[in-house]
Structure 1
Amino acid sequence: MTSIALDPTMDDAQNSKFRNTYHNLVMNFARKKVFSERETECLLLAYHKFVLKNGRKMKLMTRRQFGNLFHNMFNVLDPNFTDAIFSAADPSSKKFITPEAFLDVMSVVLRGTLEQQIELCFKVYDPHGNGYITRERLRKFYRNMFDGAQDEVDELTNDFVETIFRKMDIDRDGKISFDDYAQTVRKNPCLLQFVGTCLPDSGTIFIFSQVYKIKEIKMQLDFTMGTMEHQRFHTIFRGLKNELKRTSRFKEKEIERLLITYYKMSLASGRNARGVARSQFSAYYRVFLGVAELNWIDPLISYIESGSIKYISPEAYMKVVELWQYGTFQERKKFCFGVYDVYKRGYITREALRKSCEKMIYGQTLEDTEYLITEYVDFLMRKFDVDRDGKISFDDYSKTVDQTPNLLEFLGQLIPELGKLYEILAE
């Protein structure tokens, strides 16, 4: 391990004591090749700092501290879930978690395979170890998703539970077993956390890594570009940079970093390219921003860049990233609805909704798929068509999302996770 101070908030003696205490564990765990030695050190540092708060004689993290870590850093808000994760991590203890068990559960949470995360999530959703999830348990979880009169909430909850059961109860025995759940998630991984959040998203993971990592010295610009390329970059974008400083919500270094990213993408689009090619932006959106909703990439590009069928201008690129990063809720609503309204009619019809859902829902058979799509479209129309005129207008959508903000991207993710943007905007 390195000899530099691991944490500047601890003195030399404390850093030395930390390394002596955890040296063997760091070396042994690093052999599993889930985390590097430095990453293992940093995770144990997070653990160690919680332990220090418990007094000199205490050597273990408490159950409450573990729950607070998942609540505050990983945005797992349900205390029942954090308790279940604790029990899954260290079944032999009710009050404390060992550093070994802590590293094991963090390896699943942060770097786990799909199979490992399937096993963990099901244990969280089935904390008593029954081996299955019932309709009544799902109703308890989903009841808080909806607002309105009690009768309407109960109806929507029951409809949603039935839709989930038709999707996940493969053997039709009236309960969702581990095998039902695992088979469904392997075919459709986005259903991994279908009951509720018990794993951090990639953005949250990135923010956590920033808090508990050794800061590296970074160059202001980009060391992969030579002096001539830097000069050319400044010549091309000087005017736009100055304008963005006056009119945008970005900091100066954020503007420079984003425009460098744009410039490098435009270089990859070809010498004669008049901007970033749509295919290049599409790859950037999927790979670097972590948005896997391939069905919405073309409508999104058409929405942000109406002036060209081949290229994304730097102005359009900066405008949409500003909205993603700093946009108000009202701005985000207009953006999402504008993309979902593929035909630019000002409303979404039942048929348009059906076409969108056809790309999202898959059943065991063609008939099963058709049935699930019809049920889901009916469910969405009941939820969103506020004035009951057979279509979803922006006003319908806006009122519904104001009441239930997590329905903002109800047809698929359009806005990248903040952590992915932080990676790009980080100084």
Structure 2
Amino acid sequence: MSASLDSTLDPMEEIRFRKKHSAVWAEILKDTHFTFDELEQIMMIFYKIQKRDDRCLGTDLITRSHFRDVLHNGLGMTDAYMMERVMVALDRGTSPHVTMATFVKAMSLYLRGDLEERIQYAFTCYDLLGEGYLRRETMYQLMKKSLAKSSRDDDVEEAVKELVDIMLKRMDPDLDGIINYQDFHDTVVKTPSLLESLGYCLPERPAVFTFIATWCPRWGKM
């Protein structure tokens, strides 16, 4: 038997949790960047979240509000407007809950995701209408929400229009007035700093390092 994953949990409680879900974890593992030992530690975080709501115990669910707490407090993702977009990108459904698989895949993306995954995810966050491309109006709305936090109202309108024009010039090579996924992808591959040009939808690197050091201190020590 492997060592205890969390000293705050009763050993038998942890064993029961492992036995109940180990087969499911093996399936989920294929879609992540985690080793099995790392996945176990992520799942103990999930279990601790579950314990905040007795209605979720015994299921493979946590509430969306508790998941948002993890993103806000654990990973420093504090933009309330963008969090709504993040939830849509991670889980297209309208359920008030987040599944175990969605939680693990989100953690894999945020903690270990490669550029291709992040590009696809960011584009989905920005595609407000689910059309598969970004219109000028969509870009304007996203940038206005972002700039409104740091600028006076009378400064925002003109600044956003100028930024949208700049982004269209950078990301719209065929000059059709919209940015499709391929346009966005190719631009970000060439200039990765433009990945979150329409809003912050990923945790910053320092927040990721802090999260791992705090919640997954045994990573790299197996």
The answer to whether the superposition gives a TM-score over 0.5 is yes
The one-letter code matched in structure 1 to 2:136 is R
Match of 1:329 in 2: none
Bigger CA radius of gyration: 1
Q: TM-score, normalised by structure 1?
A: 0.46
Match of 2:172 in 1: 169
Match of 2:85 in 1: 84
Matched position secondary structure for 2:161? helix
Instruction: State yes or no: 1:203 paired with 2:211.
Output: no
Q: Among all aligned residue pairs of Structure 1 and Structure 2, give the percentage whose two residues are the same amino acid.
A: 29
Match of 1:305 in 2: none
Is the 8 Å Cα contact of residues 173 and 183 (structure 2) preserved in structure 1?
Answer: yes
CA distance change for structure 1 residues 127 and 43 in 2, over 3 Å: closer, same or farther? farther
Moved more, 45-54 or 129-138: 129-138
Deviation at 1:68?
1.9
Deviation at 1:207?
0.9
The one-letter code matched in structure 1 to 2:40 is E
Alignment of 1:22-421 (within 5 A): 22-30=21-29, 34-55=33-54, 58=57, 59=59, 60-92=61-93, 94-143=95-144, 144-145=146-147, 146-148=150-152, 150=154, 152-215=155-218
Where does the alignment leave 5 or more consecutive residues of structure 1 unmatched? 219-427
CA distance change for structure 1 residues 70 and 135 in 2, over 3 Å: closer, same or farther? same
The one-letter code matched in structure 2 to 1:22 is H
1: CA distance, partners of 2:186 / 2:56: 47
CA distance change for structure 1 residues 32 and 67 in 2, over 3 Å: closer, same or farther? closer
Q: What are the superposed Cα offsets for residues 47-101 of structure 1, whole Å, 9 maximum, x if unpaired? A: 1111111105542111222222112222222334333333333334522221122
Matched position secondary structure for 1:182? helix
Higher RCO (C-alpha 8 Å, min separation 6): 2
Matched position secondary structure for 1:97? strand
2: CA distance, partners of 1:198 / 1:23: 31
1: CA distance, partners of 2:81 / 2:111: 20
1: CA distance, partners of 2:107 / 2:67: 11
Q: How many aligned positions are there?
A: 215
The one-letter code matched in structure 1 to 2:109 is V
CA distance change for structure 1 residues 92 and 161 in 2, over 3 Å: closer, same or farther? closer
The one-letter code matched in structure 2 to 1:121 is A
Deviation at 1:40?
0.3
2: CA distance, partners of 1:22 / 1:66: 19
Deviation at 1:41?
0.9
Q: TM-score, normalised by structure 2?
A: 0.84
1: CA distance, partners of 2:76 / 2:16: 31
Q: What are the superposed Cα offsets for residues 201-260 of structure 1, whole Å, 9 maximum, x if unpaired? A: 2211111112222458x9xxxxxxxxxxxxxxxxxxxxxxxxxxxxxxxxxxxxxxxxxx
Is the 8 Å Cα contact of residues 43 and 103 (structure 1) preserved in structure 2?
Answer: yes
CA distance change for structure 1 residues 126 and 31 in 2, over 3 Å: closer, same or farther? closer
1: CA distance, partners of 2:32 / 2:127: 30
Deviation at 1:198?
0.9
Matched position secondary structure for 2:6? coil
Is the 8 Å Cα contact of residues 67 and 79 (structure 1) preserved in structure 2?
Answer: no
Deviation at 1:128?
2.6
- How well do the aligned residues superpose, as a CA RMSD in angstroms? 2.4
Is the 8 Å Cα contact of residues 134 and 175 (structure 1) preserved in structure 2?
Answer: yes
